[in-house]
């Protein structure tokens, strides 16, 4: 960066720093790693959706030549789980199984075939229990027994979590409305389908365990291993291998990671386990199926006076991130639209299916789908332009929402304007079967509070500089989104280098300080800020050493650090001078979000240091004869704050649009008779290149005051508006509402058929079940212009007796 603040590498569309390794096949992913004497592990999984385990007989398996170890649940009895409030999984279960695919036993053998044969030789006897396969079933009294012990969940039956909040006076808000509307929506579950199957390799040497894994968060795997294996954290090292795609699906600690670690300890040999594609479907942690009821009051002009949202989530067999997911189905509505009074009730239920968790957008696509279609319907009912109605309710930058979420920079207006202009949405020509739809959304740049309570930084970066150059160390994991490139770019910008000049060590718990990992769109914002702080400190030291050695007097800020030079000397010389002056240098930087959460229990889910904003328009043709939908084009504008690397940001936006199209039109994780219907890539339909429409992307830069160089997230937010925009366009084309995902040809035809028979021109859920959400926690709304954070905010709470 020059002394006048002009950016040199930030904002340039440079290739990713690891691109050469990834195009030449030299990047080493977890399953590519081999060590001498390595054994292969396989995991035996339950064929029953719900059953008690009566016995596990491994004697025959152990006798097979080449089998080196067999584990059962008794070897790994300690429960774990990603959320401290939901420690409900075991690496291998020994009491009962809760879904088809639940792990029961594991084998390490000289090769995969021997391991597979050993699995066949293990005899498990089960006592099947009545499976619970839907939200409705989960709300009834269990036929046999609840899926989890109510003593652990502290809830009735198969309820996992309940939340209930009222912000402001909702009744008064509805009373003030000219018009009130209710709608029901269903968002089907779907899965990440990363191209890389999960894989992990462990060794145990000199009393120390090393695990290479395809995880998105080395730190969480580290914590889970320490807990289950009862080892101190300093005797465990977790390294993120080159990553073949996560999208949230590799964010939990997994059974196979713990199993290979234990097997390495038992056998004294390296052990690797790579899941089959079928097992990847069981590992899941994907999108929750969610039933949503929404009621909104508006004035004649379309201004929202109150909103009431109820959600019911089908969580699958385990907790995973579910306690957060249930919040996310409701909390972020208020950072897109100014809702003066808001009631939100949510329930997450256990069912005997593969566990749901965080998938790109984590819990928010479902709520976004519902609110956008709901507002679309309200606008059409009132005879208002659907875009105009939204605009009248858009949140303003630098305000605080009714549920205390703090909004800083907000480019909703600019994003909306861009896509309207480019798409010609307003003056669109009408022809049969053709439609266009609009939607807007918001997403977090990282969660404002950590998933396990602590006051430590969310991200830390160390820089080392010696006579050979500079190295950055950070626990962040590049899952393909380009986080390594962001780190290198930030450091390069501050030190006057090119990103490729910065050596990186990332995602290695021995070498790198903690970063909370690649999820919740947090890395650019948080690790970026940590890197910025570390790099500015290093720059200062370099400048000092150079000034001293070259006899420069006066203001050190006047010394230019750019284009490979520090003042009058080259960067290499500067490194030597700095090492001469100080010895090898290290600096560190860290990032902790400001305290922004409101003064109520449960306020920790939803706050983010900054929200990204997106608007999109979809153009499609829908065939009333076949029910087929062909998306022609998507215009999408994303407020990314600042694009540190526009090439990477555009890649995230386009990838999000692609994933949204899959969810909207074809992807669904469905079950039949207790089993996953399609645990294969052939039958779980996802878009190929032939299904992809043209995408026109606009990046809006609002330069957030707290983001690194103003940057916000880009990896998840752009998925959100695309799905409801498609449904809105289908209505525009055919005059039917498809109030659930995915929009299959069958649903289109059924809605058309219903209309032909004089019924409601709609396909979607008909009933929201009775749920006892309990009395809501009532919260007084904040002053929307009170932007105080941190201690100042807390002092204000204390003074108000909150």
Partner 1 sequence: MLNELQRPVHREVLLLRVNGEEHQVLVPVHATLLEVLREQLGLTGTKHGCELGECGTCTVLVDGRPQLSCLLLPVQLEGHEITTVEGLGSPAHLHPLQQAFLELGAVQCGYCTPGMLLAAKALLDRNPKPGRRQIEEALAGNLCRCTGYATIVDAVELAARRMGA
Binding positions for partner 1, rule: CB under 8 A: 13, 15-16, 18-29, 31-32, 34, 60, 64-66, 113-114, 117, 120-121, 192-197, 242-245, 247, 276-277, 479-482, 647-648, 650-651, 654-659, 680-682, 686, 688-690, 692, 694-695
Compute how many other C-beta atoms are within 10 angstroms of the C-beta atom of residue 295: 17
- Taking CB under 6 A as the rule, which mask of x and - marks residues 329-368 in contact with ligand FES? ----------------------------------------
Nearer to partner 1, 241 or 373 (CB): 241
As measured in angstroms, the least distance from the Cβ of 195 to ligand FES is 4
Listing DSSP states for 505-555 in one string gives EESBTTTS--B--S-TT-HHHHHHHHHHHHHHHHHHHHHHHHHHHHT--S-
The entry of partner 1, ligand FES, none that residue 745 binds, CB within 5 to 8 Å by partner kind:
none
Binds 448: which of ligand FES, partner 1, none (CB < 5-8 Å by kind): none
CA distance 473 to 484: 10
486 CA to centre of own chain? 18
Q: What's the closest the beta carbon of residue 26 comes to partner 1, in angstroms?
A: 7
Q: How far is the CB of 22 from ligand FES (least distance, A)?
A: 8
594 interacts with, out of ligand FES, partner 1, none, CB within 5 to 8 A per kind: none
- Considering beta carbons, is residue 480 or 607 the nearer one to ligand FES? 480
Q: Among ligand FES, partner 1, none, what does residue 682 contact (CB within 5–8 Å per kind)?
A: partner 1
Which of partner 1, ligand FES, none has residue 654 at its interface (CB below 5 to 8 Å by kind)?
Answer: partner 1
Q: Which residue is nearest to ligand FES (CB)?
A: 195
* Residues in CB range of 6: below 8 A, 6 or more apart: none
Closest approach, Cβ 141 to partner 1, in A, equals 40
686 contact choice in ligand FES, partner 1, none (CB below 5 to 8 Å, kind-dependent): partner 1
Q: Choose between 243 and 272: whose C-beta lies nearer to ligand FES.
A: 243
Q: Which is nearer to partner 1, 192 or 348 (CB)?
A: 192
Q: Which is nearer to partner 1, 245 or 765 (CB)?
A: 245
The listed partner (ligand FES, partner 1, none) that binds 26, CB under 5 to 8 Å by sort, is partner 1
d(CA 774, CA 165): 10
Q: Spell 101-120 as b/e; 16+ CB within 10 A means b.
A: bbbbbbbbbbebebbebbbe
Number of residues forming the site for ligand FES (CB under 6 A):
3
Categorise residue 230: left if φ over 0, alpha if ψ from -120 to 50, beta otherwise. left
Return the one option of partner 1, ligand FES, none that residue 231 interacts with (CB less than 5 to 8 A, by type): none
Question: Phi/psi class of residue 475: alpha, beta or left (left: φ > 0; alpha: ψ in -120 to 50)?
Answer: alpha
Place of tokens 């739809």: 437
- Residues between 287 and 306 that touch ligand FES (CB under 6 A): none
Q: How far apart are CA 138 and CA 140, in angstroms?
A: 5
Nearest 5°: the CA angle 28, 30, 34 is 80
What's the rounded Cα separation, in Å, for the pair 349 and 325? 12
Of 30 and 335, which has the nearer Cβ to ligand FES? 30
Q: Which is nearer to ligand FES, 191 or 366 (CB)?
A: 191
CB of 192: closest distance to partner 1 in angstroms? 8
* Least distance to partner 1, CB of residue 98, Å: 26
CB of residue 626 to partner 1, shortest distance in Å: 21
Cβ neighbors of 753 (< 8 A, separation 6 or more) are: none
* Closest to 455 (Cα-Cα) out of 790, 87, 86: 790
Q: What are φ and ψ of residue 801, in 5° steps?
A: 70, 25
User: If contact means CB under 5 to 8 A according to the sort of partner, which of ligand FES, partner 1, none does residue 59 touch?
Assistant: none
User: Is residue 689 a contact point for ligand FES (CB under 6 A)?
Assistant: no
Build a one-symbol-per-residue string for 440-459: x at contacts with ligand FES by CB under 6 A, - elsewhere. --------------------
> Helix or strand or coil: residue 492?
helix
Contacts of 801 (CB under 8 A, 6+ apart): none
CA 91 to chain centre: 23
Q: How far is the CB of 209 from partner 1 (least distance, A)?
A: 24
Please check whether residue 584 is in contact with residue 576, taking contact to mean a CB–CB distance below 8 angstroms. no
Nearer to ligand FES, 386 or 715 (CB): 715
Report the candidate in 558, 588, 580, 573 with the shortest Cα–Cα distance to residue 491: 588
| Shorter beta-carbon distance to ligand FES: residue 454 or 688 | 688
> Based on CB atoms, which residue is closest to partner 1, 195 or 775?
195
Output the smallest distance, CB 298 to partner 1, in A.
36
* Calpha distance 402→781 (Å, rounded): 5
- Angle formed by the axes of helices 722-734 and 646-665, nearest 10°: 50
* CB closer to partner 1 out of 22 and 795: 22
Q: In angstroms, rounded to a whole number, what is the distance separating the alpha carbons of residues 111 and 115?
A: 6
Measured between alpha carbons, how far apart are the two ends of the chain, in Å?
Answer: 45
| Minimum distance of ligand FES from residue 239's CB (angstroms) | 20
Euclidean distance between CA atoms 592 and 159, whole angstroms: 34
350 touches 148 (CB < 8 A): yes
Nearer to partner 1, 213 or 656 (CB): 656
Q: Is 480 near ligand FES (CB under 6 A)? A: yes
- Please give the residues from 180 up to 209 whose contact with ligand FES meets the rule CB under 6 A: 195
Query: By C-alpha distance, which of 611, 83, 598 is closest to 333?
Result: 611
In angstroms, what is the minimal distance from the CB of 190 to partner 1? 12
Query: What is the rounded CA–CA span in Å between residue 442 and residue 721?
Result: 9
Query: At its nearest, how many Å lie between partner 1 and the CB of residue 24?
Result: 5
CB 800, min distance to partner 1, A: 47
Three-class SS state of 749: helix
CB of residue 654 to partner 1, shortest distance in Å = 4
By CB under 6 A, is residue 662 in contact with ligand FES?
Answer: no
Q: Identify which of residues 19 and 777 has a Cβ nearer to partner 1 in the complex.
A: 19
State the nearest-atom distance from the C-beta of 789 to ligand FES, in Å: 37
Q: Which is nearer to ligand FES, 23 or 703 (CB)?
A: 23
Lay out the sheet containing 103-109: strands in order across.
67-72, 103-109, 39-45, 271-274, 199-205, 208-213, 236-240
Which is nearer to ligand FES, 553 or 688 (by Cβ)? 688
Whose Cβ is closer to ligand FES: residue 74's or residue 195's?
Answer: 195
From ligand FES, partner 1, none, which one binds at residue 46 (CB under 5 to 8 Å depending on kind)? none
DSSP strands (E only) in 552-681: 561-562, 565-566, 569-570, 585-591, 611-622, 629-639, 671-672, 675-676
Residue 143 binds: one of ligand FES, partner 1, none (C-beta under 5 to 8 A by kind): none
- Rounded-to-5 percentages of helix, strand, coil across the chain: 30, 25, 45
Work out what residue 20 binds among partner 1, ligand FES, none; the CB cut-off runs from 5 to 8 Å by kind: partner 1
Q: Which of 11, 77, 245, 433 binds ligand FES (CB under 6 A)?
A: 245
Relative to beta strand 271-274, strand 199-205 is antiparallel
**DSSP assignment of 58-97:** -HHHHHSTTEEEEEEGGGS---B-SSTT---B-SS-SSEE
Least distance CB 286 / partner 1 (angstroms) = 12
Shorter beta-carbon distance to partner 1: residue 54 or 195 = 195
Q: Which residues bind ligand FES (CB under 6 A)?
A: 195, 245, 480
């Amino acid at each position: 960066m020059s002394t006048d603040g002009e950016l040199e590498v930030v904002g340039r569309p440079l290739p990713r720093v690891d691109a050469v390794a990834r195009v030449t096949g030299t990047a080493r992913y977890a399953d590519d790693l081999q060590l001498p004497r390595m054994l292969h592990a396989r995991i035996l999984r339950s064929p029953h959706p719900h059953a008690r385990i009566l016995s596990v007989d491994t004697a025959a398996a152990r006798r097979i030549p080449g089998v080196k170890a067999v584990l059962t649940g008794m070897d790994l009895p300690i429960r774990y789980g990603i959320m401290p409030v939901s420690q409900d999984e075991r690496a291998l279960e020994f009491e009962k199984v809760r879904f088809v695919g639940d792990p029961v036993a594991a084998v390490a053998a000289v090769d995969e075939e021997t391991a597979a044969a050993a699995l066949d030789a293990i005899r498990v006897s089960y006592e099947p229990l009545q499976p619970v396969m839907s939200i409705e079933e989960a709300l009834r009294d269990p036929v046999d027994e609840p899926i989890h012990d109510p003593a652990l969940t502290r809830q009735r039956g198969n309820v996992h979590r309940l939340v209930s909040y009222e912000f402001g006076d909702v009744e008064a808000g509805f009373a003030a409305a000219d018009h009130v509307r209710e709608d029901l929506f269903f968002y089907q579950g779907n899965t990440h389908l990363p191209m890389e199957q999960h894989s992990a390799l462990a060794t145990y040497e000199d009393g120390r365990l090393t695990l290479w894994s395809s995880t998105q968060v080395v730190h969480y795997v580290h914590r889970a291993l320490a807990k289950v294996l009862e080892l101190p954290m300093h005797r465990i090292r977790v390294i993120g291998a080159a990553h073949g795609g996560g999208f949230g699906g590799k964010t939990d600690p997994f059974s196979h990671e713990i199993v290979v670690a234990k097997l390495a300890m038992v056998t004294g040999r390296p052990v690797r386990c790579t899941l089959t594609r079928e097992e990847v479907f069981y590992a899941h942690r994907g999108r929750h199926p969610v039933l949503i009821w929404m009621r909104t009051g508006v004035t004649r002009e379309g201004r929202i006076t109150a909103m009431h949202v109820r959600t019911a989530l089908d969580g699958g067999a385990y907790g995973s991130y579910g306690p957060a997911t249930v919040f996310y189905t409701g909390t972020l509505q208020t950072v897109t639209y100014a809702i003066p009074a808001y009631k939100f009730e949510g329930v997450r239920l256990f069912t005997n299916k593969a566990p749901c968790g965080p998938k790109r957008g984590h819990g928010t696509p479902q709520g976004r789908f519902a609110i956008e279609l709901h507002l679309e319907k309200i606008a059409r009912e009132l005879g208002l332009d659907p875009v105009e109605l939204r605009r009248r309710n858009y949140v303003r930058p630098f305000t605080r929402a009714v549920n205390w979420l703090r909004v800083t920079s907000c480019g909703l207006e600019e994003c909306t304007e861009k896509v309207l202009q480019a798409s010609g949405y307003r003056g669109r020509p009408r022809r049969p079967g053709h439609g266009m739809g609009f939607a807007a959304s918001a997403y977090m740049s990282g969660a404002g509070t950590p998933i396990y309570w602590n006051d430590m930084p969310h991200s830390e970066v160390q820089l080392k500089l010696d006579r050979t150059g500079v190295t950055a160390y950070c626990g962040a994991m590049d899952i393909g989104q380009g986080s390594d490139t962001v780190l290198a770019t930030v450091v390069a910008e501050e030190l006057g280098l090119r990103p490729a000049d910065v050596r990186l060590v990332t995602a290695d718990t021995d070498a790198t300080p903690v970063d909370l990992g690649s999820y919740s769109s947090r890395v650019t914002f948080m690790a970026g800020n940590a890197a910025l702080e570390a790099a500015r400190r290093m720059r200062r030291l370099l400048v000092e050493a150079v000034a001293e050695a070259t006899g420069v007097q006066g203001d050190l800020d006047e010394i230019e650090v750019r284009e490979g030079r520090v003042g009058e000397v080259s960067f290499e010389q500067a490194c030597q001078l700095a090492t001469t002056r100080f010895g090898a240098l290290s600096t560190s930087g860290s990032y902790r979000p400001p305290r922004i959460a409101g003064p109520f229990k449960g306020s920790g889910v939803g706050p983010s240091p900054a929200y990204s904003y997106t608007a999109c328009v979809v153009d499609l043709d829908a065939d009333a004869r076949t029910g087929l939908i062909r998306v022609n084009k998507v215009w999408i504008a994303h407020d990314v704050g600042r694009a540190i690397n526009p090439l990477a940001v555009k890649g995230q936006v386009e990838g999000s649009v692609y994933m949204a199209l899959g969810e909207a039109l074809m992807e669904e994780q469905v079950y039949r008779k207790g089993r996953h219907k399609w645990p294969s890539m052939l039958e779980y339909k996802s878009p190929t290149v032939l299904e992809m429409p043209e995408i026109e992307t606009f990046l809006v830069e609002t330069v957030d005051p707290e983001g690194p160089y103003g940057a916000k997230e880009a990896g998840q937010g752009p998925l959100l508006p695309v799905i409801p925009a498609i449904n809105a366009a289908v209505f525009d084309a055919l005059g039917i509402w498809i109030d659930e995902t995915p929009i299959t040809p069958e649903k289109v035809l059924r809605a058309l058929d219903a209309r032909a028979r004089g019924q409601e021109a709609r396909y979607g859920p008909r009933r929201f079940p009775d749920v006892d959400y309990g009395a809501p926690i009532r919260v007084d709304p904040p002053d929307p212009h009170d932007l105080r954070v941190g201690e100042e905010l807390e002092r204000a709470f204390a003074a108000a007796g909150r």
